[in-house]
Structure 1
């Protein structure tokens, strides 16, 4: 983590020079963010993460040689504190979702607005997740059915798990599933961010979820969002 007052150090990974230049232009115009390197594929991204102090890496998925999935997995598994935001052109890109499973902290589309990109970088830098709301449903449609079954009868464990949640925890779970950050949830429910983090931590523990992505899947799979139904349901 960068020292208080220091700029967030960002690296850009994409095999297209024009894309890298576009992101660099947006980032360098923003106070508090410093572009510290670029890479053209996963192999050079891994090397860059090992050689430089990088807080957040913007990672393309489809690149020649070592792709963004393998690079994300290697970088996250290393001792370096670099967090990865996956960027892709395709909102149905299975490879991008696989990168989330590999440990990426965020998933955005390349047509993201500059303000949203900058907000996502800051969100991920604080340890939160940044998931584009419009692709969350796509992720659930593609992968919820492939989640490993939990031990015991699913219907029974579902009831037990939901019964352990307080009304506030259910509200926070729904907000997480809608792609809101901790700061947005805090503003919605008039809570402090530390209180929201406590609620999220309890949700992860009670639902035996690894991360926020699994909380999203749980919420959609169990019809907890208004106007939605479970994938395949």
Structure 2
């Protein structure tokens, strides 16, 4: 028996998924949650997690995948929104598979079984989106460089970034210089303040919400 968990803020969907999965003899849905934080606070036996890409708590999809993977779970991302940047980024963050919510039960159950065997199956949709990766070269930023770059690129002052992150202004400048150098190394130099904003937009950094979700992200700072 393959035990799975599901994280989705849509209770009706979770209940429907439980009924759906109940038709599959070798897969059992044993835990559900509306957020990653809620899920990680539970003691669960399932090690495979179906994760909705677009949760309503404004959490970052990439951070959600990374947190679950770091906690030892195998993640299958499910979504109705085929957002290319997030599909690519969550795959890079360690998601083992991507399944569209429009897929049928056979596709989902096959993906679950493949992941349980240790494979990383490619659905037709996942292969299509991975094949459309036309992003510019992106530097490998550390988590702190990422935080500083996003906060500063959104218009915060160096001092304000330091206060928000609990670090000295001089340390903020150091992280910004490191990020600038990394962007220069991949041929995308940052020459003025406005290009910090351009880089976080181009690379989909710090996006709390998918486009067209109907809600605005909380203000920074």
TM-score range, shorter chain: 0.5 to 0.7
Q: Which residue does 1:58 correspond to in 2? A: 50
Determine which structure has the larger helix proportion and give its number.
1
1:152-163 equivalences in 2 (<5 Å):
none
Structure 2 counterpart SS, 1:25: helix
SS of residue matched to 1:141: coil
8 Å contact 2:53–2:79 — kept in the other structure?
yes
Report the counterpart of residue 102 of structure 1 in structure 2.
93
Displacement after TM superposition at 1:93 (Å): 4.1
Say whether 1:8 aligns with 2:2: yes
Deviations 1:159-187 (A, max 9, x none): xxxxxxxxxxxxxxxxxxxxxxxxxxxxx
**1:67 and 1:92 mapped to 2: Cα distance?**
13
| CA deviations over 1:30-64 (Å, ceiling 9, x no partner) | 1111111101012113334xx21212110001113
Task: Give unpaired runs (5+ residues) of structure 2.
Answer: 140-221
Q: Which residue, out of 71, 80, 84, partners 2:64?
A: 71
Q: Equivalent of 2:18, from 4, 8, 24? A: 24
4+ aligned runs moved over 4 Å, structure 1: none
In the alignment, the residues of structure 2 paired with residue 53 and residue 67 of structure 1 have an alpha-carbon distance, to the nearest angstrom, of: 25
Q: What's the offset of the Cα at 1:84?
A: 0.6
Paired residues of 1:41 and 1:68 also in contact (CA < 8 A): no
Aligned residues: 139
Greater shift, 33-42 or 68-77, is seen at 68-77
8 Å Cα contact 2:100/2:125 also seen in 1: no
Aligned partner of 1:139 among 107, 127, 130: 130
| 1:73 Cα deviation after fit | 0.4
Q: Quick check: 2:88–2:133 contact (8 Å CA) kept in 1? A: no
SS of alignment partner, residue 133 of structure 2: helix
How much does 1:94 deviate? Answer: 2.2
TM-score under structure 2 length normalisation: 0.57
Conserved? CA contact 2:7–2:51, under 8 Å: yes
**Structure 1 residues without counterparts, runs of 5 or longer:** 1-6, 149-233
Contact 1:59 1:87 (C-alpha < 8 Å) held by counterparts:
yes
Greater RCO (Cα-Cα under 8 Å, separation 6 or more): 2
Tell me which of 56, 80, 89 is aligned to 1:89. 80
In the alignment, the residues of structure 2 paired with residue 97 and residue 31 of structure 1 have an alpha-carbon distance, to the nearest angstrom, of 32
Residue pair 2:7, 2:50 contacting (<8 A) in 1 also:
yes
